[in-house]
Each structure stands twice: as structure tokens, then as C-alpha cells.
């Protein structure tokens, strides 16, 4: 009997079938991947499946994803949307219990499912047979997901858009790029939180009293000063949040604050990588941070980072 709490699209299953039959069976290795979707009112919705492409190790009897790969995938979705399960293949095709859940699988599920009701673990034999498990309060149980053709997001999730722009200037006594990062990040995080404290929810948008502050682009300018540097940061974010249930305005605003902070931190992290070994004495440095856009062409909205044409421009002192 199908479990009314576990919903999965036919697309997920077809994808897992293809991935496991092509890669696992043809190359004789275990494959794994993730189920992406959302939790809503004690139910889980698996909308899309995504393969692991960067493995820490991968052989016939086991595989583990690079943690950074997993983090990249998790960060690519707006808050409240993301991993709701994992899948992997077993090599024992054709045998009757090829899709059993091993002790290792139990441990993995327990680690990931902790604190999240109905986190899914799907095991396939690479030949169209699969078993599905979820972790509940009293350990794991085998479930039969209800398979649907489509999970339309506008039916299940409330979308709120949010457009903000910030301009922050700080004098920083430190001169080297490593110590700059935490200072800039905490300055902008503080600014984001300050601004959102005055936000309101209007129809399907989180609105800030004053936007348009900033140059509309994402840049970080570092200027040498007599002592240390001056840092000017401009950030413009156009994003959206997706909430599974009717939330209070305060919760909606909190979610938008966190989403914007996530994006700012992601842009800054990228910039810091290209900042490299900047020394204040070398001149004025402009870093173009690129942008993050919400790609809504797939079954789930996804944040896509677009790098700038040119990362860094240094005007020598």
C-alpha cells in the first residue's frame, strides 16, 4: 500500500533508473545521488533527482560523495527547498533481495534523517527494481511512495520575491585579504539584518522601506588608507523564497533575511577566492562579484551563479 506521506515524481524514478542502469551496471560500480524537494506538514515531496558526479570513493560495493559537492548542491536551492533523500545502487542484479537496506545504509539514513521527518533512502538494483525507506521516530521503515506525474510548486509552496540593495563602507585596520573577509562579512550581515528589521510583507513580496541604496551592481572596492584599508561593498540581490505553509509575516521576513544573507555570503566567498594575496600597498582594487540568478526553468527553482566578465581590476598606487 502506498504511504500517503511520501510523494515522488515519476521523473525521479526514471532518472534513478537511467543513472543506475547506465553507470552502475555498465561500469560495475555503485552510484548515488540525491532526491530534491521539500517537506510540508509531515509529508515529503521528492520532485527531482540529481546524480553525484564528484565521489570521494566509488567501487562495486560502496560509494561516498565529496562533501564539498554535496554542500554545493545544497547551497544551490533557496531555503526550504533541497535534499529530502538519497538514492544508491546495489550490484546484486536479479537476486531477490538486491534492494535490501544494509547496516551501512541504515547508518547513513539515520545520520541524514536526524531531525527531519521522513527523509528518504532509495535503493535500486539498477534494473528497475527499487526499495524505499524512511527514518521515523522508531527507526527506519520500508515505505511505498505514492508516485505522481507532477508536483506543481505553486500548489504546494508560497513564493515571495525580495529585491534589495546595500552599500556598506568600512575602515579596516587589517591590510591583508585573509583578515578582511570576516570583517566585511560581519559588516554586511549586520546591515542586512538591520534593514530587514523594518521589512513588511506585501502580497507576494518582502519589501524593505528603502532600497535602491547602492550602485545596482555587486562590487567590492578596497582602497589603501594611511592605516589599513577602506572597504566599499555594493550588493544588489533579486531573489525569492518558497515557503511550504502559511507562515506569519515575522517568519516570512526571517526566511528572506536568511536567504539574502546566504547569497551575500556566497558572492563574498567567491570574491575572496579571487582576491588572493592582496596587499594594501599595491593600489585600489575593484572586485566584481558576479550575480546569482534564480533559474525557474526546471522542476525546482535553482540559484545559479554567473561570474563577472572580469573579476579583478587593480589600479596601481
Taking the complex as a whole, the smallest distance from the CB of residue 196 to Zn ion amounts, in Å, to 44
Q: In this structure, are residues 243 and 205 in contact, taking their beta carbons and an 8 Å threshold? A: no
CA distance 96 to 172: 65
Pick 88 or 303: Cβ nearer Zn ion: 88
The residue within the footprint of Zn ion, chosen from 53, 95, 102, 186 (CB under 5 A), is 102
- Residue of closest CB approach to Zn ion: 105
Pick 105 or 174: Cβ nearer Zn ion: 105
Pick 63 or 172: Cβ nearer Zn ion: 63
Taking the complex as a whole, the smallest distance from the CB of residue 20 to Zn ion amounts, in Å, to 12
For cell 504511504, name the residue.
3
CA distance 248 to 196: 15
Q: Is position 105 an interface residue for Zn ion (rule: CB under 5 A)?
A: yes
Rg of the Cα trace of the chain?
23
Taking the complex as a whole, the smallest distance from the CB of residue 291 to Zn ion amounts, in Å, to 40
Alpha-helical runs (H) found in 146-292: 153-156, 177-196, 249-275
Pick 83 or 264: Cβ nearer Zn ion: 83
Taking the complex as a whole, the smallest distance from the CB of residue 115 to Zn ion amounts, in Å, to 22
Find the part of the chain contacting Zn ion (CB under 5 A) among 48-56, 96-104, 138-146, 238-246: 96-104
88 contacts: CB under 8 Å, gap ≥ 6: 30, 31, 32, 33, 63, 105, 122, 123, 124
Q: Is position 95 an interface residue for Zn ion (rule: CB under 5 A)?
A: no
CA distance 125 to 121: 14
State the number of binding residues for Zn ion (CB under 5 A).
Answer: 2
Taking the complex as a whole, the smallest distance from the CB of residue 225 to Zn ion amounts, in Å, to 58
Terminal Cα distance for the chain, rounded:
73
Site for Zn ion in 215-274 (CB under 5 A): none
Residues making contact with Zn ion (CB under 5 A): 102, 105
Amino acid at each position: 500500500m502506498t504511504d500517503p506521506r511520501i510523494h515522488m515524481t515519476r521523473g525521479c524514478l526514471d532518472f534513478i533508473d537511467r543513472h543506475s542502469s547506465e553507470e552502475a551496471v555498465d561500469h560495475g560500480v555503485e552510484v548515488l545521488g540525491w532526491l530534491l524537494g521539500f517537506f510540508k506538514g509531515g509529508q515529503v515531496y521528492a520532485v527531482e533527482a540529481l546524480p553525484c558526479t564528484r565521489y570521494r570513493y566509488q567501487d562495486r560495493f560502496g560509494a561516498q560523495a565529496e562533501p564539498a559537492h554535496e554542500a554545493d548542491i545544497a547551497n544551490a536551492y533557496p531555503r526550504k527547498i533541497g535534499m529530502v533523500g538519497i538514492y544508491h545502487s546495489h550490484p546484486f542484479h536479479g537476486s531477490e533481495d538486491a534492494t535490501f537496506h544494509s547496516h551501512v545504509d541504515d547508518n547513513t539514513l539515520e545520520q541524514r534523517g536526524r531531525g527531519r521527518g521522513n527523509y528518504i533512502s532509495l535503493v535500486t538494483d539498477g534494473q528497475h527494481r527499487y526499495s524505499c525507506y524512511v527514518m521515523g521516530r522508531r527507526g527506519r521503515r520500508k515505505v511505498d511512495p505514492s508516485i505522481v506525474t507532477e508536483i506543481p510548486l505553486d500548489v504546494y509552496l508560497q513564493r515571495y520575491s525580495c529585491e534589495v540593495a546595500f552599500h556598506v563602507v568600512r575602515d579596516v585596520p587589517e591590510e591583508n585579504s585573509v583578515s578582511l573577509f570576516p570583517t566585511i562579512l560581519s559588516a554586511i550581515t549586520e546591515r542586512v539584518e538591520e534593514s530587514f528589521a523594518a521589512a513588511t510583507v506585501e502580497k507576494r513580496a518582502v519589501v524593505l522601506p528603502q532600497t535602491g541604496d547602492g550602485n545596482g551592481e555587486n562590487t567590492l572596492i578596497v582602497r589603501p588608507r594611511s592605516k589599513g584599508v577602506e572597504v566599499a561593498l555594493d550588493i544588489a540581490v533579486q531573489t525569492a523564497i518558497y515557503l511550504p505553509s502559511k507562515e506569519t509575516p515575522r517568519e516570512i521576513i526571517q526566511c528572506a533575511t536568511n536567504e539574502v544573507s546566504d547569497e551575500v555570503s556566497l558572492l563574498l566567498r567567491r570574491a575572496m577566492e579571487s582576491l588572493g594575496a592582496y596587499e594594501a600597498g599595491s593600489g585600489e582594487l575593484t572586485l566584481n562579484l558576479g550575480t546569482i540568478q534564480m533559474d525557474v526553468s526546471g522542476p525546482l527553482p535553482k540559484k545559479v551563479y554567473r561570474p563577472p566578465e572580469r573579476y579583478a581590476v587593480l589600479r596601481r598606487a
